């Protein structure tokens, strides 16, 4: 264990995590930053409360989506002016895919992997049905993506880090290979932003999308982001042509004219209260080196795997063994995984479950260290050896798993 | 002035409005409810902070969009299970229009009025470009809508109350006439919800959309809503087919299957912090009779018109004179309207300006009464008679007008 790194990255005092809880689910919903309450209060009381409608100008609300976009951009290797916040990740997927298809009008295949997060596939389905020109959403297993690339494919749309297994693609290499066939590339960074250094500009991908409520800790329902490669921001076609993406929103013109640069990817009125919370969360990232975060998250997940495999032989590693092929989460497969996760939660070790049999544990060095990992495995071992999970109370499913 | 009504509706102590400010812009952004801060804090500290990911189940976050939807529904005459919250109004327009076009696949005209709020027209443009099957977005003057209805029109998409003039359509009559030609009807209730009794179910319109940050006081960027007529909620086709509209979002199936009822109009992760603020705002509406609100708002706007016309002859009424044809705002046209509005704001009378020459004043009986109206006109008269607005400081345009 490297003492320097632990000191560098651990910022647990900047989060409100309940005493005793070991939170291994920052990959699903990041914890509350201590500063978020005051920041949100300021937006409510000093901005909305005092300025009312004038907040749009005087509190800078109108510029927040691109201002915060630049801050998120800094965490994913995107230059200023290429990232904007707004909407949900689902909407941003739709927006990116519509724009990407426009760039390849003669091709009909959208390629993704069958393990992609469902909403990405669902939104693609909805868009292709709407376009109704014989497009096909083709999904193959992740290991078959590369061989499925060819000149019939219009768009390659992938999630960088798999939400279930944590399997991570080589973004640069895949993008280059896809582009060699003239394919437009979209990366979903939901499980990457804040988890590791992402070099989206360097990857040369045309588009990326992501959310800010996981590793970035923006809060439940924090807005999504979209990245557009800088040479395209002034020409990309926004299908979701909302007024705040218009060149002159307050001229109230009849016809849509896309705004300059990344602003055109805005749609409607930005969620100012959510953005306030997100800004407080981003403050924590100031000065954090994502290379250090990555190094620490690998150390933590390696330790977790080693300990679980030694102490809980019933669980089977469902993530790549090579840390270079993994994101910042580790998954184990177990038929009764749902009940085990519930038993863990009952003992304040919070991971989550993804159907059909995946137990997920996220390692977020801002608030998790080796001591927590060891304690979590200790409790997991207790649960497994004593078959605690077999208690019917843990088998009853909640609406949200 | 009717004392009983003033007592019944005035709830100014439930809002944080700066001392001395006369806020006539609740039609653009409602003021901060006093209870919003505590409510948002509760969501941050007690829900996000203590429950973290468990908030989705244990704090009921996952059900909020339809739960709050029912509350908004009660204010627009919609039965339970027909309204859901989410996204922005622009996105909801897109969603409603896509669904509506699906119901009339053989027709090619989307009819709207040329004064419709631009984002409605822009989103329609974007959708029709995406569909790319020769649809036409036809806009005519509001008085020509009725004569433009015929069997070539697929969808009639109108904003009930005009954002500039306050002109209000007869929703029931127009819907019936449009439907007699087989036209599917979408109403945008942005300037209606919370301003007057809306009987959306009684109108028989297939769809309605609206926002919650105007008369409903949900806060900057509060989510939008969509209404689907109850006989259609189980069959309507969601083009924006996000995972939270799926029949079993947490089964993580590969294929989209639209959820039951209005849930299918959900798209992505709901904005929980914005929803908390909106819920506090909706508490104020509990027990308010919108018939009383309407009566009071007419009284206030009639008083305003009478006084302005008597005392500021330079200003020309740009709203219908008959209160039955107006929403809850009054507009006056004046070439230097922008500067006049700035001069008013400098004296703490907050209205707003809409290009090219419209000064808008919203009358919101929850926090505006006759005394405020008279004081506002007094200040407006000062500004006009002393040509205060002619000061160059008031002519310099802000980004947001």
Q: Where are the domains of chain A?
A: 3-30+289-394, 37-285
Closest-CA residue of chain A to B55? A220
Using CB atoms, pick whichever of A40, A87, A274 lies closest to residue B91. A87
CB B332 within 8 A of CB B308: yes
Q: How many CB atoms lie within 10 A of CB A132?
A: 12
Neighboring chain B residues of A350 at a CB cutoff of 8 Å: 52-54
Chain A contact for B238 (CB, 8 A cutoff): yes
Query: Residue A398 — pLDDT band, cuts 50, 70, 90?
Result: confident
What pLDDT does residue B121 have? 98
Q: How far is CA A70 from CA A73, A263, B49, B339, in A?
A: 5, 12, 27, 34
Condensed to tens digits (0 to 9), the pLDDT of residues B41-95 reads 999 999 999 999 999 999 999 999 999 999 999 999 999 999 999 999 999 999 9
* CATH class of the domain comprising B3-33+289-395: alpha beta
Q: Is pLDDT at A299 greater than 80 in this prediction?
A: yes
H runs (alpha helix) in A181-258: 200-203
Catalytic annotation on B213? yes
Q: How far is B347 from chain A (nearest CA, A)?
A: 13
What pLDDT does residue A92 have? 98
Chain B contact for A207 (CB, 8 A cutoff): no
* CB pairs A-B closer than 8 Å: 293
H runs (alpha helix) in A268-387: 272-285, 290-311, 337-346, 370-385
Token pair listed for A255: 């016809």
What pLDDT does residue A400 have? 73
H runs (alpha helix) in A76-137: 89-102, 118-131
Neighboring chain B residues of A239 at a CB cutoff of 8 Å: 126-127, 129-130
Q: How far is A47 from chain B (nearest CA, A)?
A: 10
CB B136 within 8 A of CB B110: yes
Best A33, A118, A124, A141 member to test B by mutation, with max B CBs in 10 Å, is A118
CB environment B53-92: b (16+ within 10 A), e (fewer) = bbbbeebebbbbbbbbbbbbbbbbbbeebbbbbbbbbbbb
Record: fold of A3-30+289-394: 3.90.1150
Q: How many CB atoms lie within 10 A of CB B286?
A: 8
C-beta atoms of B221 and A98 within 8 A: no
Q: What is the mean pLDDT of residues A365-382?
A: 97
Q: How many CB atoms lie within 10 A of CB B333?
A: 16
Q: How far is A257 from chain B (nearest CA, A)?
A: 9
Closest-CA residue of chain A to B258? A122
Residues of A with a known catalytic role: 117, 188, 213-214, 360
Q: Is pLDDT at B321 greater than 90 in this prediction?
A: yes
Q: What is the mean pLDDT of residues B169-182?
A: 98
C-beta atoms of B269 and A211 within 8 A: yes
Return the beta strands (E) in A126-242 as ranges. 136-140, 153-159, 184-188, 207-210, 224-228
Q: Is pLDDT at A4 greater than 50 in this prediction?
A: no
B263-B269-B272-B278 Cα dihedral, nearest 10 degrees: -50
- Count the residues in chain B: 401
Q: Is pLDDT at A337 greater than 60 in this prediction?
A: yes
C-beta atoms of B271 and A130 within 8 A: no
Return the beta strands (E) in B51-163 as ranges. 83-86, 109-113, 136-140, 153-159
Q: Is A295 exposed, middle or buried (0-12, 13-18, 19+ CB in 10 A)?
A: middle
C-beta atoms of A268 and B31 within 8 A: no
Query: Residue A401 — pLDDT band, cuts 50, 70, 90?
Result: low
| Stated pTM of the model | 0.97
**Which residues 294-323 in chain B show a CB within 8 A of chain A?**
none
Considering the candidates B207, B213, B225, B361, report the single residue annotated as catalytic: B213
Q: How far is B91 from chain A (nearest CA, A)?
A: 7
d(CA B168, CA A288): 54
Chain A contact for B10 (CB, 8 A cutoff): no
Q: Sort strands A184-188 and B224-228 into parallel, antiparallel or unpaired.
A: unpaired
Neighboring chain A residues of B16 at a CB cutoff of 8 Å: 45, 49
Condensed to tens digits (0 to 9), the pLDDT of residues B329-365 reads 999 999 999 999 999 999 999 999 998 999 999 999 9
Q: How far is A277 from chain B (nearest CA, A)?
A: 9
d(CA A246, CA B298): 35
Q: Which residues pair with A274 in a beta bridge?
A: none
Best B21, B130, B212, B247 member to test A by mutation, with max A CBs in 10 Å, is B130
Using CB atoms, pick whichever of B32, B244, B254 lies closest to residue A139. B254
Q: What is the mean pLDDT of residues A247-251?
A: 93
Catalytic annotation on B214? yes
Q: How many CB atoms lie within 10 A of CB B10?
A: 15
More confident residue, A151 or B395: A151
Best A115, A210, A221, A270 member to test B by mutation, with max B CBs in 10 Å, is A221
Q: What is the mean pLDDT of residues B223-244?
A: 97
Best B266, B273, B276, B350 member to test A by mutation, with max A CBs in 10 Å, is B273
Catalytic annotation on B207? no
Considering the candidates B39, B107, B164, B214, report the single residue annotated as catalytic: B214
Q: Is pLDDT at B7 greater than 60 in this prediction?
A: no
Token pair listed for B379: 């200040």
Record: fold of B37-285: 3.40.640
What pLDDT does residue A5 have? 45
Cis status of the peptide bond prior to A356, with omega within 30 of 0:
yes
Tell me the three state secondary structure of residue A252.
coil
Q: Is pLDDT at B23 greater than 70 in this prediction?
A: yes
Chain B contact for A73 (CB, 8 A cutoff): no
Q: Is pLDDT at A8 greater than 60 in this prediction?
A: no
Chain A contact for B345 (CB, 8 A cutoff): yes
d(CA B132, CA A239): 11
pLDDT above 90 covers a percentage of chain A that reads 94
Chain B contact for A232 (CB, 8 A cutoff): no
Neighboring chain A residues of B242 at a CB cutoff of 8 Å: 88, 90-91, 119, 122-123
Chain B contact for A143 (CB, 8 A cutoff): no
CB A35 within 8 A of CB A221: no
What lies within 8 Å, CB to CB, of A14 at 6+ separation is A33, A34, A35, A284, A366
Using CB atoms, pick whichever of B45, B222, B250 lies closest to residue A355. B250
Neighboring chain A residues of B260 at a CB cutoff of 8 Å: none
Using CB atoms, pick whichever of B119, B254, B398 lies closest to residue A114. B254
Q: A3-30+289-394 and A37-285 share one CATH topology?
A: no
Chain B contact for A98 (CB, 8 A cutoff): yes
């Amino acid at each position: 264990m490297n003492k320097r790194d632990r000191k560098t990255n651990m910022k647990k005092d900047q989060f409100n995590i309940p005493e005793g809880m070991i939170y291994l689910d920052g990959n699903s919903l990041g914890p509350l930053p201590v500063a978020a309450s005051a920041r949100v209060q300021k937006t409510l009381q000093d901005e909305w409360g005092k300025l009312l409608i004038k907040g749009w100008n005087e509190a800078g609300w109108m510029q927040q989506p691109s201002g915060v976009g630049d801050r998120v951009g800094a965490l994913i290797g995107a230059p200023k002016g290429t990232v904007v916040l707004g909407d949900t990740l689902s909407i941003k997927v739709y927006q990116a895919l519509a724009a990407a298809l426009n760039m390849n009008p003669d091709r009909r295949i959208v390629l993704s992997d069958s393990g992609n997060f469902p909403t990405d596939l669902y939104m693609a389905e909805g868009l292709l049905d709407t376009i109704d020109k014989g497009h096909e959403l083709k999904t193959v297993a992740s290991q078959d993506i590369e061989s499925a690339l060819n000149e019939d494919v219009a768009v390659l749309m992938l999630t960088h880090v798999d939400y279930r297994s944590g399997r991570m693609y080589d973004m640069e290499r895949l993008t280059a290979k896809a582009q060699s066939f003239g394919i437009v590339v979209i990366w979903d960074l939901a499980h990457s932003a804040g988890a590791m250094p992402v070099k989206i500009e360097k990857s040369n991908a045309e588009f990326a999308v992501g959310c800010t409520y996981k590793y970035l800790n923006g809060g439940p329902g924090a807005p999504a982001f979209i990245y557009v490669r800088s040479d395209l921001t002034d020409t990309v076609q926004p299908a979701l042509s909302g007024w705040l993406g218009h060149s002159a929103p307050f001229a109230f013109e009849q016809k849509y004219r896309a705004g300059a640069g990344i602003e055109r990817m805005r749609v409607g009125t930005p969620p100012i209260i959510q953005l306030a919370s997100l800004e407080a969360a981003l403050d924590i990232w100031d000065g954090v080196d994502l290379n250090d975060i990555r190094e620490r998250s690998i150390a933590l997940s390696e330790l977790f795997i080693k300990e679980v495999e030694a102490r809980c032989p019933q669980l089977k590693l469902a993530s790549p063994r090579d840390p270079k092929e993994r994101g910042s989460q580790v998954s184990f497969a177990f038929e009764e995984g749902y009940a085990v996760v519930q038993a863990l939660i009952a003992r304040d070790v919070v991971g989550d479950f993804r159907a059909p049999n995946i137990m997920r544990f996220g390692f977020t060095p801002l608030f998790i260290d080796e001591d927590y990992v060891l304690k979590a495995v200790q409790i997991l071992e207790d649960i497994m050896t004593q078959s605690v999970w077999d208690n019917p109370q843990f088998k009853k499913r909640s609406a949200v798993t």
